[in-house]
A and B are shown apart, each in its own frame.
Chain A
Amino acid sequence: DGGITQSPKYLFRKEGQNVTLSCEQNLNHDAMYWYRQDPGQGLRLIYYSQIVNDFQKGDIAEGYSVSREKKESFPLTVTSAQKNPTAFYLCASSGAQETQYFGPGTRLLVL
């Protein structure tokens, strides 16, 4: 089945540690996105990529990094510079119809 997968479902980060969240899609979509969701708030855009080897900062990019080496994959690294990383992270992708489809999310917790 076509879709978007995110792993792991839960991720724990220690102080000063970088962690990487995986996002894979087999929908043949050109564009991919990372959002952060905090309790009681809407989604905020971290980074997005419209094409392989290119990406742009969203509204809250500080403390995060991404890469887009393959069309299917758009991993997000939460660096030690992100001082408040605890959140639910959602990956999405969109194709020619522009509608964004979301993965199941990764919940990041700080130890």
Chain B
Amino acid sequence: GNSVTQMEGPVTLSEEAFLTINCTYTATGYPSLFWYVQYPGEGLQLLLKATKADDKGSNKGFEATYRKETTSFHLEKGSVQVSDSAVYFCALRRGETSGSRLTFGEGTQLTVNP
């Protein structure tokens, strides 16, 4: 079946540090890949996505590249801010019809200190 594995947290960084959160997946075929962010007490917000191999998703300084050869979709940011403190979820979607299900990783808690 489909599965997503994220690096274990929590991750604590100082402001302006470089961020990498690893995500690998198992799926047949060609899934679409997503990163969502969840701020305390809130729902999930879509951060970025990629729908085919070698695509790079980017938003708000975050980037992730869909690597089919390594089945990975690692999230990176060159210089984190205190406001980036949140939980980050990697997810994949199989299927081409409306209502395709998402499979989520367990989430990685990021804390950025000033």
Contacts and interface: CB of A to CB of B under 8 A. Distances in A.
Interface of A: 4, 6, 30-31, 33, 40-43, 45, 48-51, 58, 90, 92, 94-96, 98-105
A50 B42 contact: no
B99 A42 contact: no
Interface residues of B, number: 23
A94 B44 contact: no
A34 B31 CA distance: 21
Contact of A31 (B4, B44, B98): B98
Contact of B101 (A45, A101, A104): A45
B73 interface: no
B34 A95 contact: no
B45 interface: yes
B107 A42 contact: yes
A66 B76 CA distance: 38
Contacts of A48: 99, 101
Contacts of A100: 46, 102
13 contacts: A43-B104, A45-B101, A50-B98, A50-B99, A51-B99, A94-B99, A95-B98, A96-B98, A98-B100, A99-B46, A99-B49, A102-B44, A104-B43
A9 B45 CA distance: 17
Contacts of A51: 99
Contacts of B4: 42
B43 A102 contact: yes
A103 B101 contact: no
B42 A101 contact: no
Contacts of B105: 42
Interface string B70-114: 000000000000000000010001000111111011110000000
Contacts of A103: 43
A32 to B, nearest CB: 9
B98 A98 contact: yes
